[in-house]
Amino acid sequence: MDRITILLADDHVLVREGTRELLEQEEDMKVVGEAGDGEEAVGLATDLRPDVVIMDIAMPKLNGIEATKRIKGIHPDSAILILSAYDDDQYVFALLEAGAAGYLLKDVPSHELVEAVRAVNAGESILHPAIARKVINRFASPRGKAATEAELDQLSEREMDVLKLAAKGMTNMEIAKELVLSVRTVQGHLSNIFSKMQVGSRTEAVIKALRKGWFALEDLQ
């Protein structure tokens, strides 16, 4: 079994040690590196190319927002999962725009962090529904902007259905039930969507689609 490779980026040694201990209890996870500041996180992510980077926001030399931008620019396939004490809108939006796939607070139960790592590695978003709604309201106008036929033809009709449901915050299992598909088929559609849109997560795909005007707020009610 291929294990999920993980890089930890936090300036508090105790936080890194505790997170490492938690994750390495899981048979499908392996922590391959630890960074104490943003610059080190970018360097290690470049060298190690981890599947998932668990990132704090407030770090020396380079904050989590800038580190996320740089890592996604170098290795877009790495999923960035934010684990922070801050839940301010300015941080949430800045990090999602930078390419983060998920956002958790440090008081999250340990089992939720473990499941979040698996989720973002599979291309899922682990945003709280309230944050998902903020994202939709932030990046889409009520009418949307006109999308060209060439842009809309980038995805198949079924892929667009999957993306719209993902934008509503549905899990792969919920999407599968809604569209009467298998979970594996939904995963296949999402993989095709990510490849066609050149993104690494459903969060990035949804934001990009909203910005391009592929669907509007009314489509997501």
Secondary structure string (H, E, C) spanning 95-150: HHHHCCCEEEECCCCHHHHHHHHHHHHCCCCCCCHHHHHHHHHHHCCCCCCCCCHH
Per-residue model confidence as pLDDT tens for the chain (221 residues): 689 999 999 999 999 999 999 999 999 999 999 999 999 999 999 999 999 999 999 899 999 999 999 999 998 889 999 998 887 888 888 888 888 888 888 888 888 899 889 988 887 777 765 566 677 777 765 554 555 554 556 888 899 899 888 887 777 888 899 999 998 899 899 889 988 888 877 777 888 888 787 876 666 66
pTM value is 0.71
**Domains of the chain, start order:** 4-121 (3.40.50.2300), 136-220 (3.40.50.2300)
Cβ-count burial 10-27 (b if 16+ within 10 Å, e if not): bbeeeebeebbebbeeee
Measured CA angle at 204 (ends 73, 15), to 5 deg: 70
Alpha helices in the chain (DSSP H): 13-23, 38-48, 64-74, 89-98, 110-121, 129-139, 149-152, 157-167, 172-179, 183-197, 202-212
Indicate the angle between helix axes 89-98 and 202-212, nearest 10 degrees: 90
> With 0-12 CB in 10 A as exposed, 13-18 as middle and 19+ as buried, what is 52?
buried
Ramachandran sector of residue 219 (left: φ over 0; alpha: ψ -120 to 50; beta: rest): alpha
Two tokens at 192? 């095709």
